[in-house]
Amino acid sequence: MKGLYFQQSSTDEEITFVFQERENLPVTEDNFVKLQVKACALSQINTKLLAEMKMKKDLFPVGREIAGIVLDVGSKVSFFQPDDEVVGILPLDSEDPGLCEVVRVHEHYLVHKPEKVTWTEAAGSIRDGVRAYTALHYLSYVSPGKSVLIMDGASAFGTIAIQLAHHRGAKVISTACSLEDKQCLERFRPPIARVIDVSNGKVHVAESCLEETGGLGVDIVLDAGVRLYSKDDEPAVKLQLLPHKHDIITLLGVGGHWVTTEENLQLDPPDSHCLFLKGATLAFLNDEVWNLSNVQQGKYLCILKDVMEKLSTGVFRPQLDEPIPLYEAKVSMEAVQKHQGRKKQVVQF
């Protein structure tokens, strides 16, 4: 039985993906569940976070967003039994790769998969669903009538965030990074209030948002990264597609919420003063926030269940690429790690 792993070079910059033969899994104990994996979604690996957590290994397991069938349960497992269909996200310190036929996982990282939801839909939406839920419910409190700017709305994460915001009755504005993305966003139903095409670098996001909101500014901003420095100090691609942090602050309304994915965000005193005058808040969207806090496990499980329920009832649908077999996972992960491709890639077993 083979699983996919990655090795990190001594420079901590490049990683190499390798298939490794695995021994038979030991007897399932305590709160652990043995799972036959039916689908596993591919996401970029945050090697910097692994290094910060002092997680040093020769081989790191690859693939964490899984859906599958329970084969066996430990003596202390209370939520699942053999033949249950489940979905979940493996923890950062998991010894097993999701890109393997059989894995072991603690029951607190799993929830039941609704019957209507396919294996690929479950695995392909669970992570982005949790991110969108965290951003819009826990960090910014979206509600009917609020205006929400979702940057790069045609991305796999952006599409789910837009659908979740629409479900809560919000008015959505989004940016498109290409003509294809613009056309994708214009097909949304209910329609997006305004699609801002930033692909040519000439459209001013702040001006467009202020115009759309009658000069009031937006209530919630969910960015996809921001420019921190002047034009001369930024790479050409980042300069073209991302707004400057000052633009975000400008387009925020009074009492607005800025949810950022920029982990190295730096605000100067004038920036902070401007946020203070607006009574605005700033929150960081950390993908692993629920993973790093054991005391929030109950809340995390509620989010997982709600994401699956919304997927089952059609509140949102993930933007998935065609499923691929396991033997293509190595090449696909190399592309995902380099930010290539827009749709979510899922390995189907």
The reported pLDDT for the residue numbered 295 is: 52
Give the residue with greater pLDDT, 324 vs 241. Answer: 324
Beta bridge mates, 136: none
Contact between 196 and 205 (Cβ < 8 Å): yes
CB 196 within 8 A of CB 216: no
Best mean pLDDT range from 86-90, 175-179, 296-300: 86-90
Percent of the chain with pLDDT over 70: 94
User: How far apart are the C-alpha atoms of 114 and 326, rounded to whole Å?
Assistant: 24
26 Cβ contact list (under 8 Å, min separation 6): none
* DSSP output for 86-131: EEEE--TT-SS-SSBSEEEEEGGGEEEPPTTS-HHHHHHHHHHHHH
Tell me whether the omega of the peptide bond preceding residue 190 falls within 30 degrees of 0, making it cis.
Answer: yes
pLDDT tens readout for residues 114-171: 999 999 999 999 999 999 999 999 999 899 999 999 999 999 999 999 999 999 999 9
User: What is the rounded (10 degree) CA torsion for 38, 43, 46, 50?
Assistant: 0
* 251 membership: H or E segment, kind and range: helix 245-251
Mean pLDDT along residues 300-309 = 91
Q: Is the pLDDT of residue 23 over 90?
A: no
**Residue 116, phi then psi, degrees to nearest 5:** -70, -20
Mean pLDDT of 199-218: 89
Residue 114: per-residue pLDDT = 94
238 or 201, which is more confident:
201
DSSP three-state, residue 28 = coil
Name the fold adopted by 2-124+291-348.
Quinone Oxidoreductase; Chain A, domain 1 (3.90.180)
Whether the pLDDT of residue 347 is over 90: the answer is: yes
Cβ(123)–Cβ(39) below 8 Å: yes
Asked if the model's pLDDT at residue 47 lies above 90, the reply is no
According to DSSP, the residues that pair with 344 across neighbouring strands are 320
Amino acid identity, residue 274?
A: C
The structural domains of the chain, with segments of one domain joined by +, span 2-124+291-348, 144-284
What SS3 class is residue 171?
strand
The architecture that CATH gives domain 144-284 is 3-Layer(aba) Sandwich (3.40)
Q: What is the pLDDT of residue 310?
A: 93
What is the reported pLDDT for 94? 86
pLDDT at 279: 95
pLDDT band at 207 (very low <50, low <70, confident <90, very high): very high
Is the confidence at residue 264, as pLDDT, over 90?
no
For the stretch 63-85, pLDDT in tens is: 999 999 999 988 888 889 999 99
Mean pLDDT of the chain: 88
Average pLDDT over residues 287-303: 75
* Contact call for residues 300 and 290 (beta carbons, < 8 A): yes
Lowest mean pLDDT among 122-126, 229-233, 332-336: 229-233
**pLDDT score of 49:** 79
Report the C-alpha gap between 112 and 68 in whole angstroms: 10
Question: Residue 57's pLDDT is what?
Answer: 75
